[in-house]
Amino acid sequence: MSITVYVETSVVSYLTARPSRDVVIAGYQAITREWWRSATAAFELVASELVISEAGAGDPDAARARLEALESVTLLEATLDAERLAGTLLDSGAIPRRAAGDAAHIAVAAANGADYLVTWNFRHIANATMRSQIEKACRQAGYEPPVICTPSELMEDSHGNDEN
């Protein structure tokens, strides 16, 4: 059984973007590129039509690069169950209403049984203060939430840190 990883839009954006002058963003971009090289063989990468829609927005050349990167990714269905779960995440306050798209990413991943949701969105998804609320809302609705993490948290140790 393969491990499924829902790829949220920020990951593919960092994967394909021109190198940033911001050192933090440039670091995220480098990590994302390294992660992507191994992740495509190690995991079943999945996304949703929402990721496709978000990735296709903006600068046409950048959008084309993002969409090309997503060509090998399996698309999950935004089922009625996923829509209901997104509503639950919003109604419970786990995700603020202004971030309905973020609730939809989590809901599609959870309703389709994804093991992980990988993201660089720290505001509403990979947010330690919100994670327990997200997990509680998913479980109360009958779904096991995906493990929400960044690409760096989902990388095998390739840095030689065997001592820990």
Report residue 30 as tokens: 């480098």
Given a cut of 80, is residue 9 above it in pLDDT? yes
Model pLDDT, residue 160: 43
- Residue 158, pLDDT above cutoff 50: no
> What's the CA gap between 31 and 38, in Å, rounded?
11
Measured from the Cβ of residue 50, the count of other Cβ atoms closer than 10 Å reads 21
Reported residue count of the chain is 164
Q: What is the structure's pLDDT at 157? A: 54
Region 71-86 average pLDDT: 96
Of 162 and 18, the structure prediction assigns the larger pLDDT to 18
Alpha carbons 56 and 28: distance in angstroms, whole number:
21
The pLDDT tens digits for 10-63 are 999 999 999 999 999 999 999 999 999 999 999 999 999 999 999 999 999 999
CA distance 96 to 102: 9
Of 3.40.50.1010, 3.20.20.80, 3.30.565.10, 3.40.47.10, the CATH number of 4-154 is 3.40.50.1010
Q: What's the rounded mean pLDDT across residues 151-160?
A: 72
Q: Select from 29, 21, 3, 2 the least CA-distant residue to 150.
A: 29
Which structure tokens are listed for 128?
């330690």
- Helix, strand, coil percentages in the chain from 3-state DSSP, rounded to 5: 55, 10, 35
C-alpha distances (whole Å) from 139 to each of 13, 134, 136, 143, 144 are 30, 9, 5, 5, 6
Q: Structure tokens of 81?
A: 């169950």
pLDDT band at 159 (very low <50, low <70, confident <90, very high): very low
- pLDDT digit string (tens) for 88-105? 999 999 999 999 999 999
